[in-house]
Amino acid sequence: MPKFEVTILGCGSALPTTKHNQTSQVVNFREKLFMIDCGEGTQLQFRKAKLKFTRLGRIFISHLHGDHCFGLLGLISTFGMLGRTADLYIHCPKGLAALLEPSLNFFCNQSPFKVIFEEFNPKVSTVLYEDRSLVVTSIPLKHRMPSSGFRFQEKAGPNHINKEQIDFYEVPSFELNRLKAGFDYVTPQGQTISNSVLTFPAEPVRSYAYCSDTAYYEPVIEHVKGVDLLFHEATFASTEALRAAQTLHSTAEQAATIAKQAEVKRLLIGHFSARYPNEERLRQEAMQVFPNVEVADEMLTFTV
């Protein structure tokens, strides 16, 4: 199957620690790289992960808190020093362009490429990017400022030709594209041969959703319904539920509840508070609600 992977560059929360970098991850879809959030130090993590700078074309910023976007200026500056010429697209809530452009004009005014800001309204689900095989949609979240998650949805591919049956029914080659698109074949004698006889189904489509930063927010459920892998923030343990409510973050138990109600296949928790020396406690709490839980950590790659 074509590659669909998520590499964690940072999974800590706002307070820096020596254990976790601030939030960033990279989706590798068919060798195209899409970055989600860009906390401080992301460009160094990108190098450690041995990802290729030239394949990163788009960055999706969830919201305008520093631990999700302070790394942008350094990353863009490095692109310039590397001689990048391809445009870089940044999908972000309204306001980031006005904040960042003065710094870019000062520090990166000789860059040989354009930085193109495509701002969106985080309060409304919107298609942000689409090509022949992938669509990326925003997911409204609930946080102290407008915040958005993202769903990466693979598009259905064409059916596969069953060569043995094609030869048996003597189907001409000019009919093959119609068969891949799902049409039946009608023989010169008027007999209809079902598409299911002449083709094999395409591979199941895959999907990944990212939800951070957010309080427990039930409207998210419909947006992430049935995804193969859900990243949901689990900043706090249940004993800090009051603190989670005050800061509009989630507990591990709440992240698992969203995963269970949305019937996702796997849950990946992250955005951990600096107060926890390890995340096993959070994993155990999540597993009490939803059994298929994985824990984010820097340089881990998860296959969708």
Of 59, 33, 43, 55, nearest to 9 (Cα)? 43
**Which positions are catalytic?**
67
Token pair recorded at residue 159: 């059916």
The Cα 253–Cα 289 span in angstroms is 7
Q: Give me the sign of the Cα torsion angle 63, 68, 70, 75.
A: negative
Cα separation, 195 vs 184, in Å, equals: 4
226: tokens are 């049935």
CA 169 to CA 156: how far, in whole Å?
A: 26
Interatomic CA distance for residues 212 and 232, integer angstroms = 6
| Amino acid (one-letter) located at 287 | M
Tokens at residue 163, please? 């060569």
Question: Measured at the alpha carbon of residue 298, what is the angle toward residues 295 and 304, in degrees to the nearest 5?
Answer: 60
SS3 273: coil
The Cα-based distances of 29 to 75, 159, 272 in angstroms read 21, 20, 26
In angstroms, the CA 83 to CA 97 distance is: 22
> What number of other Cβ atoms are within 10 A of residue 191's Cβ?
9
